Amino acid sequence: MANMKSTSERRTPVLIVGGGPVGISLAMELAWWNVESVLVNERPTTSLHPKGSTLNSRTMEHMRRMGLAPAIRKTGLPLDHPTDSIYVTRLAEFELGRLPMPTLREKISNPGPWGETLLTPEPIHRSNQFYFEAVMHAHAEAFEETDMRYAWRLSSFEDHGDYVSAQIEDVRTGRRETMHCDFLVGCDGGNSIVRRQLGISYGGRSSSGDRFYDGTMLSIYIRAPNILEVINMPVAWHYWTINPKGRVDFITLDGEGEYVLLAEVPPGVPIGEIDVSAIVQNAIGADTEFEVISVEEWLAGLALVVDNYQKGRVFLAGDAAHLFTPSGGFGFNTGIDDVSNLGWKLAAVLQDWAPIRLLDSYEVERKPIGIRNTAASGDYANKIGSLEFSDFVDENSERGVLARESLKSTLLTFKEEFASLGIVLGARYNTSPVISSDGSQPPPDERATYIPSACPGGRAPHYWINEHLSLYDQLGPWFTLLCLGPNPPDIKTFELAASKLNVPLRTVSIKDEAIYDLYEASLCLIRPDQHIAWRGNKLPEEPALIIRKVIGYDVVPN
């Protein structure tokens, strides 16, 4: 009989460790650019317990690029389910404040340069990770270039300088393989084995452990089929319960009776001694049938970023590179933006039209975004956790009415967490060595407000062609040169320079005066991740110098 633990060998361009949304996204990104990868994930399936509940607009733009946005929008809340976020004492008691938001149907039924699609073709979508992750996994598996190995784990790896060897193991049979890869990417979460073996540490704000959203929390997955019968206000998506017996973040999952509750844990009480049903009952505030499906413990209040995103041929992305508290919904969304940046660079190097030092721009570009986004999330969490309220805010009495009125005025300031379009769409790589600056000043980096700008380094401003055709759908999979306005210059020398350097380039001509006014230039070079690499009103004297810069020839190796 063969030894089930015998070791075989295999080669792959990229080994991805971790099969959450970030790892799956990287596998899809690489396959999109015809690069093979092997993904290993210790769990045998995608997530079975609820996690993050929001795919932001930037993530949905990436999903659109890979043809996945329509399938993801079929998960999560139904088309007409309210998406309001509200503050209540309990679901069956008093409403304290409401942030109205449009339903999915209202957001996507008539896309164009108006409403929720004014600045992006893909508005925010409310769906929990354990729904959309399964859809992403199925989509990734459909690519010939992907080998998705769930119930496999990474045991160890070694960077040999010109390749990486990794030991992986089937957790069910014990069978081992030695994987030889050009690059290894750790997308394996906060306890990343890749990060720990590299000896890379987190820096930033740790949990204080002394208040809501800043310490040990429980994530409670329930089914409550008749809960709508006891909710004492218009239905919402997100309920924040505030009362003296405990605060809970109560989130609708499917609109059909499934919810996840994020609840504070009393200090010093062992998890095994906590009455989970009592937490659920207190948050609802009335008798109704519910079933606790699963419970997980987690730590809130973190705003941590690793010292290094890369060592040699090994990279970190997602929670392996930065840890968030879920306030703002930036966690896995920031990770998906990480791999949209890293993916095309890996592919360009592996396809031999960019130098390996292009990869050193990954940390230069993404670490500042990790610091920026974790800081915003941490500030939101601190504001939520520091909220003060009266011990009789839930009383049906005159003093209870006064307490609720006082609290309402405070809660009116709690809007930025749900209106952070500046964080979502405003990430910029101004100081990157693979961005060709034109000397213009970028707009201010404001958390709540996104200001469209074609200043090199930022996301290309979206534009609706003839009001219904998305600019992003016209971009090529690699670099795209936009020729804008009625009289753009001849671009033959630019195309010839790209061809000589073997850099894949698509050209797109749009005659509208409005897009010329938006981009403030006749020519604009868009990267594969939709960030602007260069712009100008005339061709550079030596186009090859610009092209060489944006594919990494000016990067100083780490």
Q: Are residues 372 and 436 in the same domain?
A: no
Contact present, 254 and 77 (Cβ < 8 Å): yes
Report how many domains make up the chain: 2
Q: Are residues 327 and 456 in the same domain?
A: no
d(CA 494, CA 543) in angstroms, rounded, equals 5
d(CA 14, CA 179) in angstroms, rounded, equals 10
Q: Are residues 366 and 515 in the same domain?
A: no
Contact present, 343 and 29 (Cβ < 8 Å): yes
d(CA 464, CA 515) in angstroms, rounded, equals 9
Q: Where is the domain boundary, 342, 361, 378?
A: 378
What residue has token string 């010292």? 307
CA 187 to chain centre: 13
Contacts of 397 (CB under 8 A, 6+ apart): none
3-state secondary structure of 33: coil
Q: Which of 176, 531, 118 is nearest to 362 (CA)?
A: 531
Q: Are residues 373 and 478 in the same domain?
A: no
**Does a structural domain hold residue 189?**
yes
**Does a structural domain hold residue 408?**
no
Q: What is the pLDDT along the chain (558 residues), one digit of tens a residue?
A: 334 465 788 999 999 999 999 999 999 999 999 999 999 999 999 999 999 989 999 999 999 999 999 999 999 999 999 999 999 999 999 999 999 999 999 999 989 998 999 999 999 999 999 999 999 999 999 999 999 999 999 999 999 999 999 999 999 999 999 999 999 999 999 999 999 999 999 998 877 766 777 778 899 999 999 999 999 999 999 999 999 998 999 999 999 999 999 998 877 778 788 999 999 999 999 999 999 999 998 888 788 999 999 999 999 999 999 988 777 678 899 999 999 999 999 999 999 999 999 999 999 999 999 999 998 888 777 777 778 888 999 999 999 999 999 888 888 777 666 668 999 999 999 999 999 999 999 999 998 899 999 999 999 999 999 988 999 999 999 999 999 999 899 999 999 999 999 999 999 999 999 999 999 999 999 999 999 999 999 999 899 999 999 999 988 887
Q: Are residues 374 and 466 in the same domain?
A: no
**Does a structural domain hold residue 464?**
yes
Q: Are residues 173 and 32 in the same domain?
A: yes
Q: Are residues 39 and 131 in the same domain?
A: yes
d(CA 309, CA 367) in angstroms, rounded, equals 7
Task: Calculate Rg over the CA atoms of the chain.
Answer: 25
- Structure tokens that stand for 412 in this block: 């009116």
Buried b / exposed e over 155-170, threshold 16 CB at 10 Å, is: eebebeeeebbbebbb
Half-sphere exposure (CA, 13 Å, Cβ side) for 161?
Answer: 0
Q: Tell me, what CATH number does 437's domain have?
A: 3.40.30.120
Q: In which domain, by residue range, is 509 found?
A: 428-550
**Does a structural domain hold residue 287?**
no
d(CA 181, CA 166) in angstroms, rounded, equals 8
Q: Where is the domain boundary, 358, 378, 398?
A: 378
Q: Which of 448, 473, 469, 471 is nearest to 460 (CA)?
A: 471
